[in-house]
Amino acid sequence: MTGGQIRELDSAGFEIANHTWNHPNLRQLSEPQIEQELSRLNDFL
pLDDT in tens, 1-45: 888 998 999 999 999 988 888 889 999 999 999 999 889 888 887
2 falls within a domain: no
Q: What pLDDT sits at residue 35?
A: 92
7 occurs within a structural domain: no
pLDDT at 17: 86
The pLDDT value given to residue 1 = 82
Range of the domain at 34: 18-45
Residue 3 lies in a domain: no
**Total domains, the chain:** 1
Answer whether residue 30 is part of any domain.
Answer: yes
Contacts of 32 (CB under 8 A, 6+ apart): none
How high is the pLDDT of residue 43? 87
* Residue 27 maps to a domain: yes
**Would you state the pLDDT for residue 29?**
94
- Identify whether the C-beta of residue 45 lies closer than 8 Å to the C-beta of residue 6: yes
* Domain presence at residue 1: no
Q: Is residue 32 domain-resident?
A: yes
Q: Give a yes or no: residue 26 inside a domain.
A: yes
CA atoms within 13 A on the CB side of 18: 14
